[in-house]
A and B are shown apart, each in its own frame.
Chain A
């Protein structure tokens, strides 16, 4: 493959090749190679997942009730979302109905994850792509205070507060031990914020670091710890007792008040710090609308947050489900995880082998035969020292999933666009997006950009912070109505299960659509497959040469300085990549590459 056109992008790999590896401030291991033209504009992009753990094979033969704990360890950043997906897959396979309280508590935990993960992503994994820490040293604390007070009523905003912080920062920089801020691209012309906005953002970077540990306490109360809280097939493990003797050993009034207090404080932080910062930063970058990639043409979501328990149909989901293809925003396609025609994985450019690589396979029929072999006419280096990969050959540990043959983008931007175009069902999403667009004075097409992706995450965080309030009220109303049930144990004992069963579970992880497919035989896991958000977004090319969302998003972006790939980081980070999630299927015995059949 030399120069060719796909999905509206002209790919040309003839220019100077730039490698960025490791991509930092993400979960896991990712490598990117791009070709630049003479103007330093990206004309070809290649993204490679560079780690692999093999969890699905490890799950084989184990107790399906344990699967949540294994799959939860796929990712400690979006902690809990794999566990929820897993218990839903098992419950789907065994037709287990969960109590209303269990559904609401699960929703609260998953909403809590969204709020926490989006906040940490914005400040700690993404902000430094927009915010120049060193420039903050030049800020006038008084003007910083004026700026902060003009955009929010958040109390930590006095000139003295910013002066103290700036002094601490100054001394930190002067010490010469810059720690995590060392050797970055400070002073790069792609940074656009004035010093005062930089100082305000650095202050909130540190405040958010302090505050994020509070948000997760909702997981701790319901699930015992965070990261990696505990879940249960059939419900939730935490029992409710608000009236009787022994209530202190369960979810009681004190615990529920604790949850409520965290919900209120989280909402306040998102409303008064995250959103104003996002808008302030966006106002300086609204002329930089690169990075849209596939978002204007092909997006997908499984949806999440069933309002009523056990009803996973599209109208009952508080976060939208559906797909948009070919850029036709007027048509939302139904998405079905179990339809073999819809979701398929290809391996033409992945380090795996299929008997017939012209066809994709649905996860229920999936085959995983690893085949690590970096090669191709443009490959440079050796097997254990890669200099340049060749995208015309196999080049990634990530498979290429497609929805009805299309590469799609998943994640907050996809969900918010799906909510926006179905504004009647999702008025909060529609109204908030309209308000943000108006505030920034940009057209709706501005959403389809790196900045739009980052903004969509903030809008979704606000939506989830708000849903936490209504879901908590729902929990209390149900308890007040006399229902304290949290687990259905009718089918806890494997002897009550059918000899064979299969099912699918879904969530919308912070990073996008997450699906698990399980097959149970004789009370044990016969097969287990996951397709995770970063598999969709980080997908390599398929047999038709279609590029995935990461690769598409980098196309045609100019770099201010070719040796400082700040713009590449900014756009990749806008997806919040999670590589431990995306690449974890493996053969059962390492060097002996044997095929794993999933049926």
Chain B
């Protein structure tokens, strides 16, 4: 049997239609449970201010915002957000786009949010599909130019930097990451350093990159976001160790990342497993490598680029182990879900027998 069929089904979920639209603005914070409802009264690059029905207005730093719902927003936006969170990016993009068409005299905040959501989703898709890079960059640049004072501003810079990096445009990437580093929050600054170090790595400046990663690793993390950046830096360090063929050290470091990073930190976890898989593969531990890559396929498939990478390796490894059926399965998945990724292209270039 593939899956116990009643999993989640007996969750006593009724078949009632989805809840009606919100009757007020609402902000959900990363650092606290529950949402704050009221009227959003201010929206800047660094914070949102919300005035609850009773009590004083609350200013929420942009880096602590998990999600925002706007008064009068269409219910479909919730579905789109759900799809995006679940990694169903194409469907999410489609729903966001449709929702944008149904907005009836939206406030500027809602309008900008939907626009950013569309750009963000396109960017996520583009990170695993090079053909979408220009489109994503264009959308994010358009958002940036119109919404420089929006709470999504720095998040937009992070994505832009990543997109430019994927497009192999280091200058523009560097500009975006430098802007990111100007954010008033430590985790964003750490992220900026990490991205910069990665660019150094791409440019084969290993020592400089290692120093940059070490500087982040040496920083004290006061919250999960900052800890996540520390882990990112450790991942970068592991990459350097791998490139130096210090596989054992790299594996230990990666195990450390896997154990210390939040299990819900999909990006860090996904990369840690992919890198772990690389090391194990290089050590000739094919089965262990498969297990590492499978973590991404099973648990962190929302990290599209890394998912595509793990599928590529899985296809080759299954084939190597004589599991032709499984190799075909992962190959098909890679080609269907990431037809334009560099990994799918690499696979197409590989001899059929090697690729399953």
Pair from one complex = no
